Structure 1
Amino acid sequence: MSDLLPPLLPRSPHGGPSSTAFSGLDFSVNSNPYGPNPVLLEAVRNADHAHYPDPAYLDVRQALADWHGVSPDMVALSVGASDLLHRLARAFLPAGSKLLSLHAPFGELERAARLQRAEVVVVGELPAALLTQTRLVYVGQPHNPTGRCLSEGERQTVADACAAAGALLVLDLAYAPFTEVSINYQPSTIALHSPGKAHGLVGARPAYAIAAPEVVARLENLAPAWHLPAGTAALLQKLPHAQEFLAHTLPQVRRDALALAAALARFGAVEHHGTPYMTLEVGDGARVPRELLALGIKVRDCTSYSLPGHIRVSTQGGTRDARLIAALQEVRDG
């Protein structure tokens, strides 16, 4: 009987809060420190929480479809990208198939694949031809935690390879607004959007995907009824009309991140590609976060990303970033 059931796997590690109380500065979360977007926050607060929403969320899907220049049947909605990734795995990764990931995948997708008894193959460069039984190819645009990004031509090459092999290319665009990555939607591509990061509203868990109608139909079929709370639905419907916040705040986030990367360079090798987050080589990726935590500073150990000896930090603004630098100096001085 147990052979027929999905395996029990531990939760994927993430940055941000845990069950342990913490009141210091959190550099482990890659969210806009100048949020939340007041327009979207008002939409959440004013949503109709007293009644069931339209189970098909037609108005929400139409608003997002008009914004992206696609049809509503190409929009799948979700509470958090993690739910969409788990549904993707259930829909397109049968046991024995392969998930091919450029660099380490987001932990939730890896976990979802392993729950399906699929094989996870991590590569540093995408091959010219996909491996046999590859059903999903995952590319972070930009990648987390490195910030690396494929060029438009490279993305097209991967999309063509997926189309030829009958696979789907999953482009994780959680941090695309920070780097202004633009995507052309294609039948072999699933564009996964998590606007809560850029708008400083990760707690509302807004997410959606743009994909071919037959892909969206499978994703929607795996969702329970009324899977989107009223506040999250209202946020997504308002999203196309709430972009002014990004124009005001993201340039400052970029300036803060550049300044932080420059200040971190004296502690070790820094990898930064324009995102709010960056990696720092510290030698002991487990010890340094523990010692920083004792000083009221939380960072992300990158061991789970196959980058032992590195931490990931995300800018929290000038004065708070200065406290991180001071804490790192204290840890180094011992």
Structure 2
Amino acid sequence: MSLAPPAAHGGPDALGAPAHDFSTNANALGPCPMALLAIARADASRYPDPASTRLKVALADFHGVAPERLLLLASASEGIQRFSAWAARTAGACVWLPPHHYGDLSRAAQAWGLARTPEAGRARLLWACEPSSPLGQAEAGLVERLAGLRVEQALVLDQAYAPLRLSGAPSLEGAALDRVWRLVSPNKALGLTGVRGAYAIAPLAARQAVAELEALAPSWPLGAHAEAMLMTWAAPDTQRWLADSLDTLRDWKARQIALCESLGWTVLPSEANYFVARLPAPRDTDALPALRRERGVKLRDAASFGLPGHVRLGVRSPEDQAALRAAWPRGRGGDNSPR
């Protein structure tokens, strides 16, 4: 079996943290002050409660579910590996992936020997993400796949970007959500991607599956700082801060779309705090490394998502947008004259 290609991610790299980082989807208004304070106060001198009893109760109350439905994860990426390992225990299991998806999904499938299938009805494990990654759109066909879901199948809905939805509405609500696994990773919404910690909400009547997935976890998947972040996530003042930040992000997104269009880029529809844009010429992505090195502006090349010639941009502040306008090479589409 051939090895998976190296993981592609946004954010800091060998050059350090970008001065103007459009390459991740973290909340540009972060870090959330309440979460940051809680992390600073976390007691890292002791082991956390291995069962995370208080945290499970707080998150269950926040979501209105029973604590037994909470599965704690070291991160969303660790959850992807764990769900893939769990599905692979079924002989001949296959996985279904959306046409454009986060690269860790295919890497985990390959690592655990899960063959990919284009037929959702054949898959033991199905993945979805809404708003989708990288496009930030509704997940096409999600309602239909849920309608055809059999009891032996597991559909995992990645809701990493649901708290950062700026328009539109989710495809699944109410009782429909009780039929899927919900993967929740609040660090993006809180602007704290350096703190790793996530959780999943199990479907109803999935007690055995929860036990099997917990058996695959290492001891203490959450450290003290991750527990502090997740505990703060369920607090009312944190949710108020998040709601207020969305208003600002909507304004910044409109400005950023106008900027990209002025550069001659074609912006694709998005409901989230990020979007994909097609560059005027496919080889325009060749300019991205120099942009990073020389001007400190980093965009996410979307080729790893199956979209060559496109970039994904997280919504950033007007100051970052001005840096992008000044940095984009003159003559590469649109009017790049100083303003």
TM-score > 0.5 by shorter chain: yes
1:311-322 to structure 2, matched below 5 A, reads: 311-322=311-322
254-263 or 56-65: bigger deviation: 254-263
The structure 2 residue matched to 1:244, chosen from 229, 235, 240, is: 240
Q: Secondary structure at the match of 1:170?
A: strand
Task: Tell me the equivalent position of 1:275.
Answer: 272
- Flag the 1:96–1:20 CA change in 2: closer, same or farther, 3 A: farther
Tell me, yes or no, if the aligned pair for 2:31 and 2:190 is still in contact at 8 Å. yes
Name the counterpart of 1:117.
113
Which segments of structure 1 move beyond 6 Å, counting only runs of 4 or more?
none
Quote the RMSD (CA, aligned, Å): 2.3
Partner SS state of residue 316, structure 1 = coil
Q: Hey, what does 1:195 align to over in structure 2?
A: 186
Shift of 1:48: 1.8
- Local SS of the residue matching 1:63: helix
| Distance in 1 separating the partners of 2:78 and 2:272 | 24
Contact 1:98 1:121 in 2 (8 A): yes
- For the residue of structure 1 that corresponds to 2:316, the secondary structure is coil
Aligned equivalents of 1:259, 1:75: Cα separation in 2: 39
TM-score by length of 1: 0.88
Are 2:266 and 2:278, in contact at CA under 8 Å, matched by a contact in 1?
Answer: yes
TM-score, normalisation: structure 2:
0.87
- Residue 141 of structure 1 corresponds to 130
Distance 2:139 2:307 in 1: 20
Contact 1:302 1:311 in 2 (8 A): yes
How far residue 329 of structure 1 moved from its aligned partner, in angstroms, is 5.0
Q: Match for residue 227 of structure 2?
A: 233
1:168-179 aligned at under 5 Å gives the runs: 168-179=154-165
In 1: Cα distance, 2:305 partner to 2:18 partner: 26
Aligned sequence identity (%): 33
CA displacement at 1:155 relative to structure 2: 3.7
Checking the alignment, whether the CA contact within 8 Å between 2:131 and 2:271 is kept in structure 1 is: no
Q: 1:34 to 1:22 in 2, by over 3 A?
A: closer
- Offset, 1:274: 2.7
Residue type matched to 1:141 in 2? E
Deviations 1:188-224 (A, max 9, x none): 4111111111111111123111013333222211111
CA apart distance, 1:238: 2.2
Residue deviations 1:161-187, cap 9 Å, x none?
Answer: 1236x2111111111111164743645
Residues 98-152 of structure 1 deviation map (CA, whole Å, 9 limit, x = unaligned) = 2212222211121111011112346xxxx6xx342x111111101111111148x
Q: What displacement does 1:14 show? A: 0.8
Amino acid corresponding to residue 221 of structure 2 in structure 1: H
- Structure 1 CA distance, aligned partners of 2:147 and 2:212? 22
Contact 2:291 2:328 (8 Å CA) reproduced: yes
Alpha-carbon deviations, 1:220-276, whole Å to 9, x = none?
Answer: 111111121011112212211121111221111121112211221232211131312
Task: Point out the more displaced range, 15-24 or 98-107.
Answer: 15-24
Structure 2 runs not aligned, ≥5 long: none
Q: Is 1:159 matched with 2:146?
A: yes
For 1:157, the aligned partner's letter is E
> Is the 1:261–1:272 Cα contact (8 Å) retained in structure 2?
no
Question: 1:300-319 to 2 correspondence within 5 Å?
Answer: 300-319=300-319
What does 1:48-59 align with in structure 2 at a 5 Å threshold?
A: 48-59=43-54
Gaps of 5+ in 1: none
CA displacement at 1:96 relative to structure 2 = 4.0
Quick check: 1:199–1:245 contact (8 Å CA) kept in 2?
no
Q: What one-letter code is carried by the residue in structure 1 that aligns with 2:191?
A: G
| Alpha-carbon spacing, 1:23–1:269, altered in 2? closer, same or farther (3 Å) | closer
1:207 is aligned to 2:198? yes
